[in-house]
Amino acid sequence: MRVLVTEDDDDLRTAVEVSLRGAGFAVDAAADLPQADFEISVNAYDCLVFDRMLPSGDALDYVRAKRDAGWPVPVLFLTARDGLTDRLDGLRLGGDYLVKPFAMAELVARVRSLCRRGTAEQSTVLRYSDVTLDVSKHEVHRAAVLLTLTPKEFLVLERLMTSPERPVSRKELIRHAWDEFAEPSTNVLDVVISQLRRKLREPQLIHAVRGVGYQITQRN
């Protein structure tokens, strides 16, 4: 799941990024509304985290304008304003509200909940062959055996299982599981694929597609 964090306080923004990445999210960051607007125009996000009051304006007004244009992405507002009206404003825009100071564990839980809400209309359980991936529970089973996957392994497998028997490009796999700071020319994806193959055991389901990327498919 990919998240954009917009916060003008450098230290807080970095702390939020680190916490979300540690929880397995792909994270991009912006320091103001113009930068956030650019990121949103070129990337697809499962959730947005906005500091409410930014030097470039009130994030609530920005999100309200986006909602009026039909934009559905869930939003978590971070703010020192804890009045009932402020909380209701955030909820009316299909988001959530977290008052500063806050525990990072709570922020991670709120973001995860919002991401799940944003995909509620999609199936939360993916199946291929004897592999079952439960998005909401963050669990993978093969032949009814629970597998222990790292967050990156889970995200790569999730992307492959959303397009069964179809090649998925290296770029798309990296975009889904990492963020804008990932370097596609490294072998990080190949390492994760190798680990996934070992944990999924035989018969192998993940295969390389030369010049493209990988696909999950059964081969004789």
Name the domain count of the chain.
2
Please state the pTM of the whole predicted model. 0.58
Tell me, letter by letter, the H, E, C secondary structure of 143-205: CCEEECCCHHHHHHHHHHHCCCCCCEEHHHHHHHHCCCCCCCCCCHHHHHHHHHHHHHCCCCC
Residue-number span of the structural domain to which 177 is assigned: 125-216
pLDDT digits (tens, 9 = 90+) for 161-200: 988 888 998 888 887 887 655 555 568 899 999 999 999 9
48-52, 93-97, 100-104, 192-196: which range is least confident on average? Answer: 93-97
Q: pLDDT at position 93, please?
A: 67
Q: In the prediction, which pLDDT does 84 show?
A: 61
Is the pLDDT score of 160 beyond 90?
Answer: yes
88, 153: one domain: no
Examine the domain organization and report whether 114 and 150 are in the same domain. Answer: no
pLDDT tops 80 at residue 205:
yes
Preceding peptide of 101 cis, ω within 30°: yes
Residues 38 and 16 in one domain: yes
Instruction: Specify whether 166 is located in the same domain as 101.
Output: no
State in Å, rounded, how far the first CA of the chain is from the last one.
Answer: 33
Of 66-75, 117-126, 132-141, 147-156, which range is least confident?
Answer: 117-126
- Indicate the range of 51-55, 69-73, 191-195 predicted with least confidence: 69-73
9 and 105 inside one domain: yes
Domain harbouring 198, CATH code: 1.10.10.10
The better pLDDT of the pair 116, 88 is held by: 116
